[in-house]
Structure 1
Amino acid sequence: MRADARKNRDHLLAVAAGAIAEQGVEVSLRDIARRADVGLATLLRHFPSREALLDALLRTSFEGMTAKAGELEASASPEDALVSWVRDCVAWTTEYRGATVLMAAAIEDPDSALHASCVTLRAAGARLLHRAQAAGLARDDLDGDDLFALIAMLAWLGDQPSLAPRADRLFDVVAGAVLVGVGGVGRVASGGSGVEQG
């Protein structure tokens, strides 16, 4: 891709990120083009559909979260790695209002532009979950699909103005139900990724 074309594409992505943060994933493509000071045809030339735009926008975040899973796997305890990664995943997913609905649909649809990125993200989380399970620190009746669904659920909570104040506490409740300690269910410190065994 030529340098000027890449610059234009990056500009469109930056504008789209701001628009989606404000209005959600259903923001009008025409509005994004207007904000970027280009014609709709120019936007569609770079991104022929809303899903293609979202895939390009989210792929960098997906890749970053996948890489972070690998780093945590190598540097943190199994339970801390799992909770920290899920907390970060929920936080950035919440930044893109309405993205959880699209992600949930895309992971079931191989033809979706978002499918491959979502599958890669799910696999990264599954590895962290399996590691915690192998250490006896997470429920063994959960799999990567369950973890992906829990992330979507928690991100949806943070996306609802009336429920957002409860999101952190409910994250801890869910994390405590996923993790198991020697004497029972793990308790996750509020607002952090540390785990106290109880």
Structure 2
Amino acid sequence: MDSAEPKTTETAATAAEPTKLRADARRNRDKLIEVAAVVFPQKGVETSLEDIARQAGVGIGTLYRHFPTREHLVEVVYRRELESLAAAARELAEKHSPDVALEEWMRRFVGYIATKRGMSNSLRILMTSNSSLFAEGFGNMRGALDSLLKTASQQGYIRSDMDTADVMHALASIYSIPDSPEWRDRSLRLIGLLMDGLRAGK
């Protein structure tokens, strides 16, 4: 634990973005979130908050003004990952053919899993205080995947007998792959195998 970190058991009941921040304060907050989103998957959620603040170019006091506890920062990063993943489905569908959009979204899902693995300890704490975050996030993810699958199926890019729940379970199983230097490469290979199965017999 960081020596400067407040001794508190408070968890983040909500992490809605403040609406009344000066432009410089908002930039600082956004930078802290961006750095944490990179550091947590790499080093784990217990990484030094002072290090996150230093990489963001702010003082530790600034970090605590925006995020009073570690769990507040974890929740905001996790929420941002969920929102980005849902938004990516729409963006990819506009830029690519349905099968390519689906595969690229699933590859981004690997990035989401990496972030979740890096924050697992704090996410378990959050589950007891803000379970609606996870229910809402899962619903949004499943909705995004369902939309991509249906479009690809209806346009003949993948097989028509697929089930969104089955594909979601297959993607979620990536989380169980042992942590190792090859974890991401192995996960992406599994995405390729999953897409081969979805395209087969279409």
Please indicate the TM-score interval, normalised by the length of the shorter structure: 0.5 to 0.7
CA distance in 2, matches of 1:160, 1:114: 29
Misfit runs of 4+, over 6 Å: none
Q: Which amino acid in the other structure matches residue 23 of structure 2?
A: A
Secondary structure of 2:159's aligned partner: coil
TM-score normalised by structure 1 residue count: 0.63
Alignment counterpart, residue 5 of structure 1, candidates 25, 30, 50:
25
> Cα 1:18–1:79, aligned 2, differ >3 Å: closer, same or farther?
closer
Q: Report the counterpart of residue 186 of structure 2 in structure 1.
A: 166
Q: Is the strand fraction higher in 1 or 2?
A: 1
1:75-86 aligned within 5 A: 75-86=95-106
> Cα 1:165–1:133, aligned 2, differ >3 Å: closer, same or farther?
closer
Q: Within the alignment, does 1:128 sit opposite 2:148 as a pair?
A: yes
For the aligned residue pairs, the C-alpha RMSD in angstroms reads 4.0
TM-score normalised by structure 2 residue count: 0.62
User: 5+ residue gaps in structure 1?
Assistant: 183-198
Q: Report the counterpart of residue 38 of structure 1 in structure 2.
A: 59
Identity of matched residues, %: 34
1:24-173 aligned within 5 A: 24-29=44-49, 32-33=52-53, 38-39=59-60, 42-90=62-110, 92-93=111-112, 96=115, 98-99=117-118, 111-112=130-131, 114-115=133-134, 116-135=136-155, 137-138=158-159, 140-143=161-164, 145-154=165-174, 157=177, 159-173=179-193
Shift of residue 177, structure 1, vs aligned partner: 2.5
CA distance in 2, matches of 1:55, 1:67: 18
CA distance in 2, matches of 1:181, 1:122: 24
> RCO (CA 8 Å, sep 6+): is it higher in 1 or 2?
2
> Cα 1:66–1:5, aligned 2, differ >3 Å: closer, same or farther?
same
User: 5+ residue gaps in structure 2?
Assistant: 1-20
Shift of residue 76, structure 1, vs aligned partner: 3.7
Shift of residue 23, structure 1, vs aligned partner: 0.5
Shift of residue 172, structure 1, vs aligned partner: 1.7
> Structure 1, residues 76-125: CA drift from partner, whole Å, max 9, x if none?
443232122212332x32553615858x979x889347433443233111
> Structure 1, residues 131-160: CA drift from partner, whole Å, max 9, x if none?
2344462363522x4444433433664953
CA distance in 2, matches of 1:163, 1:62: 21
